[in-house]
Structure 1
């Protein structure tokens, strides 16, 4: 079976093989190589969504305004439990014997250097979000009713409790604001990505199964994986990916336009938002056509250089000592606050739990097929221990540094009174308002806009590559026209959601697709454990 893929799982005492061939369900249509019926169902459903959302804009707006609070208020416990499972499961893999298993086999070598690997991983995983929320989130939490603090003898903080008590404009409020921000960008989101990426990399590189979402469930469902059940999994993955991406693309367009308005008085209108999304999608198309190594990799590396330069500039011109002190304190506060922030029982701060945490977890889950498959494609040759450590722990620390530099600087300005209008500014304007207190404020703002745009492009093009792989049945060399199709469709959905409800509609779409996929990811943990256990027994 030269073209068949080897499953290599045991049925009783004997190993069995799957007779599934990569591309066996594919159909050639107008030069496209599509996986039947995943491509058709996904494409037609999404096109219908775009059409009806444009035709019935008022009804769409009302629906999105109802959807988000309904899901986050009734199912916040699902997101909380699932994401806690992902963190515990991923960290356990580091310390178990399974950590020595190498993705691709014992002799596999990494395809990319650490520098290239980290650049692509980080740019795809959180780029736009870090730039958008780096200032906006800590400022939003500061002085809110997020939490309280227990102070022991001598004024030494002993614990965070109870959440919901409120701290006012105090140093303790600043500390908890940073801890809560790091919580949303730390272990939990990267554990979500790690679960999906590890599952895809292991079952593709070690077991020879197609690089698509259904493959990771072969240990649980066997040959049924290639039937209707697998189609459902892949279609859900496409929906989650494209709506999660649209959310981020909408955020990026909103912030980029706000920056252009701030610097050059470009009018902030729906028409300008649409034009900006069209222009950036066109740039993404060029990268998509260039491919992974020439397009996505180069843009990711450019973006990391720009991000590092902006980070260093803010660190130097900002309150450097306070930032560095806040970084280390923030990590400690994050660890101390982690049990309380991860708990969902008896919480009084429902706005934070449902409006922030539940939304974030749903958003990360909706991004997980895209980011997970992308990370899987670039991670051959890493051991499980190396993979999990680098995908979870290192990005958490780097994300905490970014939030400490941008959020810490903004909080320092608010507390000292130098940040004029920072607290009251719109979310998308907060970063630019923070730059006002710095020399070369215009240059910093311009670099920030360029950073958002390139993050926009890298998210769009890498997302198109991933969706194309899923809808082509795991083939990574499908016709370029298919990647172009998905890239255009991503931009169209971002436009529709912005026009049909703005930021709230974008967030509602991410939650709606993230909810069912949370259950899929829990099952994925079971499948990974079975696969790694059988792999270890063979070694």
Structure 2
């Protein structure tokens, strides 16, 4: 089997020169453009973002729903028992660690930033009907569930499954290019493969940098309310530097000692904070509404999932919210997909798909109900009963989205203690997101190497911090966010091709396994033991890898 050619570039010992150099050049040019000409950059990329959102919103919706249908098919199909690795192999990571790392690479930080703010926003300004009513409260939870629910994780799961399948069962590099092998063959090691991997690096870098920049704004808001620390760019750049150093330390320790341990800590702290809010908050309401919210979501998931605003006569709301989310998650899917594939060896396709699709979603739904649902409930009660004073959560969201969760905690005891815990969790989530992204970018720029040199990982972690600091100081984060959204459009096409490739690969794999089983159960197998009648030798040994028929 061929491999991506790697070599030394300066201090970096193992990189794919076309992908590495192209990525560095494009990123550098973007930093210069965004920092020195930030107003022009913001205008250009916002126009591009509006064009993509308004003209291709239907396409993003179609791609997202296709990944969900494909996920359901994988669970129910004959391919479900195929394992990502040897057929008798055990999962590499235990379930709790696997879940923790799923969140570290996926949308763990979204829990803290949007878990309270988004339901409140849709409650006060819904896309349909009047705001601050019982109907808008239910719709707010439905929309929040849609944006963080099974559609998102179906997308991540399909990208990760394709990567894991072609890596663990076919022995191909753990890179986006490998998923196109059934179509392109050995051409994945040429220009097409370099282009796809560079696009993945672009989306991953700009997605994580934008999140890092927005995240320090929320951390700064929390520190201001706790300790009176000024909310300004200087403090935010210091925070970026601290997070970058911590991410570098975690990267230096490696996947098992660094990212895994921090992910385990994050899950532990998440359970503590979630339990605190449920026990000391409106407990009965949380559990009642959790069940009702799930029922409403299941009932509305198809209408909302296919909703395009076509009969409303305008698409401004969806362009700002649902289409924005779909493009955002698509631009992040190479990063999340590579990382999730890296930690999922040994799981069957059915087990993997069910786990990715259901476990994070259940936790996210409970979190959104406990935080966002409770916040909406408090505001709704003040509207229904004038004797109940408004907690001021809607005003907090209008003023500063990131401050919503800190404002909510003012309704609970030990406010300062748990706000400090929230700040710590935000930092840890960002550290794990940053080092996960650095790990993935390094894998992509080193030809799919699953254990790339640490100096390269540190370089990408530092690059993320520098880009975030420079663009935050120059006011260019909006342009960066728009650029990552625009990059989601070409990768949406790649995802469709990727799923088609996966089906082709699985079809051939299942046929070989079926023939192997038939050979073993036949009564005449002992008599017919010539080499020409034996099952595929590589398949008997296990991956890597099942050879292509042409080889």
Q: TM (normalized to structure 2)?
A: 0.88
CA 1:320–1:502: 2 relative to 1, 3 Å: farther
Distance 2:175 2:341 in 1: 11
Distance 1:414 1:234 in 2: 47
Match of residue 327 from structure 2: 362
How far the C-alpha of 1:54 sits from its partner, in A, is 1.6
Match of residue 272 from structure 1: 235
Residue in structure 1 matching 2:54, options 36, 56, 73: 73
Residue in structure 1 matching 2:154, options 172, 191, 196: 191
Matched, 1:346 2:310: yes
Distance 2:18 2:174 in 1: 17
CA 1:347–1:25: 2 relative to 1, 3 Å: farther
Residue in structure 2 matching 1:375, options 328, 337, 340: 340
CA 1:436–1:419: 2 relative to 1, 3 Å: farther
Matched, 1:124 2:105: yes
How far the C-alpha of 1:200 sits from its partner, in A, is 0.8
Distance 1:320 1:450 in 2: 25
Distance 2:356 2:411 in 1: 35
Could you list the runs of 5+ residues in structure 2 that have no partner in the other structure? 383-388, 514-551
C-alpha RMSD of the superposition: 1.6
Match of residue 253 from structure 1: 216
Residue in structure 2 matching 1:227, options 184, 190, 196: 190
How far the C-alpha of 1:335 sits from its partner, in A, is 1.4
Matched, 1:35 2:21: no
How far the C-alpha of 1:32 sits from its partner, in A, is 2.2
Match of residue 28 from structure 2: 47
Aligned residues: 502
Distance 2:479 2:287 in 1: 37
1:382-406 deviations in whole A, cap 9, x for unaligned?
0000000000122111111110011
Match of residue 428 from structure 2: 454
Match of residue 471 from structure 1: 445
Distance 1:437 1:345 in 2: 37
CA 1:24–1:329: 2 relative to 1, 3 Å: same
1:302-360 deviations in whole A, cap 9, x for unaligned?
01101111011011111011011111111111112212212225252734311110111
Match of residue 542 from structure 2: none
When structure 1 is superposed on structure 2, of 30-39 and 63-72 the one drifting more is 63-72
Distance 1:283 1:266 in 2: 21
Distance 1:307 1:464 in 2: 24
Distance 1:435 1:265 in 2: 17
Could you list the runs of 5+ residues in structure 1 that have no partner in the other structure? 6-19, 148-165
Contact 2:163-2:174 at 8 Å conserved across structures: yes
Matched, 1:404 2:378: no
CA 1:262–1:64: 2 relative to 1, 3 Å: farther
Distance 2:450 2:268 in 1: 28
Contact 1:497-1:505 at 8 Å conserved across structures: no
Matched, 1:519 2:490: no
1:408-419 correspondence runs (5 A): 408-417=373-382, 418-419=389-390
Contact 1:146-1:352 at 8 Å conserved across structures: yes
Matched, 1:59 2:33: no
How far the C-alpha of 1:434 sits from its partner, in A, is 0.7
Match of residue 150 from structure 1: none
1:155-184 deviations in whole A, cap 9, x for unaligned?
xxxxxxxxxxx1432222111110110000
Distance 2:286 2:338 in 1: 35
Distance 1:289 1:224 in 2: 34
Contact 1:410-1:419 at 8 Å conserved across structures: no
Match of residue 9 from structure 1: none
Residue in structure 2 matching 1:423, options 394, 418, 429: 394
Match of residue 523 from structure 2: none
When structure 1 is superposed on structure 2, of 341-350 and 182-191 the one drifting more is 341-350
Match of residue 105 from structure 1: 86
Match of residue 10 from structure 1: none
Larger radius of gyration: 2
Contact 1:50-1:493 at 8 Å conserved across structures: yes
Distance 2:392 2:183 in 1: 55
Distance 1:380 1:62 in 2: 44
Structure 2 residue matching 1:111: 3-state secondary structure? coil
Matched, 1:490 2:464: yes
Residue in structure 1 matching 2:246, options 283, 300, 308: 283
How far the C-alpha of 1:192 sits from its partner, in A, is 1.1
When structure 1 is superposed on structure 2, of 270-279 and 59-68 the one drifting more is 59-68
Contact 1:144-1:168 at 8 Å conserved across structures: yes
Distance 2:51 2:230 in 1: 34
Contact 1:128-1:251 at 8 Å conserved across structures: no
How far the C-alpha of 1:505 sits from its partner, in A, is 3.3
Contact 1:362-1:515 at 8 Å conserved across structures: yes
Distance 1:510 1:58 in 2: 17
1:392-443 deviations in whole A, cap 9, x for unaligned?
1221111111100111111111112354321011101111111111111111
Structure 2 residue matching 1:37: 3-state secondary structure? helix
1:482-510 deviations in whole A, cap 9, x for unaligned?
10111111122223443444663343132
Contact 2:178-2:188 at 8 Å conserved across structures: yes
CA 1:78–1:249: 2 relative to 1, 3 Å: same
1:25-60 deviations in whole A, cap 9, x for unaligned?
434533421112111100121122112322222322
Distance 2:296 2:410 in 1: 29
Distance 2:488 2:33 in 1: 22
Match of residue 531 from structure 2: none
